[in-house]
Amino acid sequence: MDPDVEDDDDWTKYADTGYESTYDPWADMVEAEESEEEDFEDEFENYEDDQVSIREIPRCPAPAGIEHAIRIGTCNHCLGRIAGVRIAGDPLDSVGERVRTQALERDPDLGVNQDVDCCPFCEDLFLEMDLISNRISNAIDGIECSKIQLGVHFAKDQVAAEEALRASIAATGSRPLKATLSDAIQSAVSNKVPGTSWVKERPEVMILFDTMTLGVNVDIRALFLYGRYRKLERGIPQTRWPCRACRGRDGGCESCNGTGQQYPNSIQSLVCETLVELTEAKSDAFHGMGREDIDVRCIGNGRPFVAELKSPIRRTLNVEKLMEQINKGAKDKIEVTGLRYSNRAEVARIKETKAEKSYTIRFTCEHKLDETEITKRIQSLSGQVLEQQTPQRVAHRRADKVRKRKVISIDNILVEENEIEFDVRCESGTYVKELVHSDEGRTNPSVAAVLEADCEVIWLDVKDIHAD
């Protein structure tokens, strides 16, 4: 009797050996309308006559299956992976070498077919492990990180071919190539970069390895810092403002003195330039809980913000010393408090928070009323719901619509001849300047309307932001 035929007839005795319950050769059986022989012929009718029938391929981990795997050029890593005889902790290449040695002891003439170019399972990827680990370790050299996530990219046809090959020798219970290669890469890189921790969530560095090109792409996750800023000087925008003339193009222009910025300073630059320098980040972004006008101060407890540092090389910071450094460099312009590490989720939180705000506003008014009457009329706006059409000053960048905003309270009204000052607490999104001068009737009611006089804002301060 042909020994191959005998093995084929008896493969069900050992098909799931070493894989316990992970593989059941009959699990996918359904009632057939035609004979099994007819189904088989239909499925493989495109095979050439000189090809080996899948029925004739011995199954692993039977001895005949192991021998077949060796003949087709299976490397030691993949041989150890599909053999089903691994002992916990054994390196796959050691297992494969042991399995190969045992097979050669049974058949000294066993060898690899001459027409085999590479391992049919992994295409010799495991043999390139030194090259792969060197490329990855070189790519992350100098980057401060302790938590790394590895992604391995395979061509879809290679994954499908590997799975089909394992299935053909009844080794579907063995670990897939992608997961096994990922483990091998992580182990090799850890030996070269001590202290590396491999994670699946919230990594500091994401590494993507392409098996087709052996290319390595490194994505350094952004670093986030939360704090509050007090704006002590007027004329400073919250974020960088590109020059109107050159639009911030490289080199700038005469109008901006070569800076590319409309204003020499911004809250973003005063805070983030120090951070970028210390972390060696590529760039930065500034996320504030709303923003004040350029001519408005923000005092009190300050405005919450999150500074985002993109692709930072350094991540470990002494936030207290850092805060002192920022405040020293921005003396009399801004002051940062409560600096701490944050995350991307907090960016969404401060963007979505609709916090009430308190303001102090001072304006001129050519009135003919006494102080008591002025106080009474302004106080009458407390608790009112304003209808505010998009102000003319922002109509070019915001939708023209009517917004309803509530005035929570008005206090501390001070009248000094034709100058009036008061504190107001109002709903998030209220246009406070327009509350005073009415913007030609686009805000109703307004201080100008109740005083029956034209009003002109002198200054406005954000007194407090009622958040956190």
Active site residues: 293
- To 10 degrees, what angle do helices 129-139 and 177-192 make? 60
Dihedrals φ, ψ of 225, to 5°? -130, 130
How many CB atoms are located within 10 Å of the residue 147 CB?
A: 14
| Residue ranges in 174-317 assigned as alpha helix (H) | 177-192, 267-279
SS3 label, residue 264: coil
Q: Are 345 and 224 in contact (CB under 8 A)?
A: no
Secondary structure class of 410 (helix, strand, coil): strand
Contact (Cβ atoms closer than 8 angstroms) between residue 208 and residue 151: yes
Query: Which ranges constitute the DSSP H helices of 240-365?
Result: 267-279, 319-329, 344-352
Q: What is the DSSP letter of 165?
A: H
Cα–Cα distance for residue pair 351/305, rounded to 1 Å: 9
Within the chain, how many helices (H) and strands (E) appear?
14, 14
Residue 384 CB neighbours (<10 A) = 18
Strand ranges (E), 122-188: 147-153
How far is Cα 126 from Cα 76, in angstroms, rounded to an integer? 9
* CA torsion angle 366 367 371 373 (round to 10): -150
